[in-house]
Amino acid sequence: MKNPTTITAEPGQPFVAIVRDFDAPRDVVFRAFTEPDLVRQWLGPRRMIMEILEFDAVTGGAYSYVHRDGEGNAYGFRGIFHTVVAPERIIQTFEFDGAPHHVSLDSMTFEDLGDGRTRCSGRSAFLTVEARDAMIGSGMEKGVNEGHERLDDVLSSLSLAG
């Protein structure tokens, strides 16, 4: 893997930090996080198909989507975009329909590294350590890593098109 994803969850703390560098300019990476047609192409594990029900990536906007697997299982997610500052930062809530009332507050910053590269630094704050541990135990790491690999492909195709 060219640019590994670093996922950190300190014991006893209700936080997860995710950092990943991408070989694309900051404005292009930001678009991939905020344009529904692009998000659909990369967010989540490879074995899932994503259906976006709502995705309005503006301050005060909302999102809702469903991942479906080959066995017919559906996994719904939703939240509110609290702050969207292009191309610098996104702050949003995140809730899995399978664990209602376990909302995390997620922030993502997009740092221009120069040479057409971008560092995405995310931090999720959970209500409890147990909620954080349940998210990690759900296969989050695999989904994040596969999603980032898929995002590499999307960013590469955007760079070729642009």
Cα dihedral sign, 56-58-60-63 = positive
Type and span of the H or E element at 84: strand 74-85
The predicted structure's pLDDT at residue 101: 85
Q: How far apart are CA 93 and CA 3, in angstroms?
A: 27
The tens digit of pLDDT for each residue in 69-84 reads: 999 999 999 999 999 9
More confident residue, 61 or 46: 61
The predicted structure's pLDDT at residue 162: 60
In this model, does residue 139 exceed pLDDT 90?
Answer: no
Do residues 155 and 22 touch, judged by C-beta distance below 8 A?
yes
Cβ count within 10 A of residue 25:
22
For residue 8, what pLDDT band results from cuts at 50, 70 and 90?
very high
In this model, does residue 32 exceed pLDDT 70?
Answer: yes
The predicted structure's pLDDT at residue 100: 81
In this model, does residue 159 exceed pLDDT 80?
Answer: no
Type and span of the H or E element at 32: helix 26-34
The tens digit of pLDDT for each residue in 82-136 reads: 999 999 999 999 999 988 888 999 999 999 999 999 999 999 999 999 999 999 9
Cβ count within 10 A of residue 149:
15
Edge-to-edge strands, sheet with 117-125: 6-8, 15-22, 117-125, 104-114, 89-96, 74-85, 62-68, 49-55
In this model, does residue 61 exceed pLDDT 70?
Answer: yes
The predicted structure's pLDDT at residue 155: 97
Six-digit token string for 5: 């994803």
The predicted structure's pLDDT at residue 2: 81
pTM equals 0.94
Six-digit token string for 86: 């292009």
Place of tokens 């678009």: 31
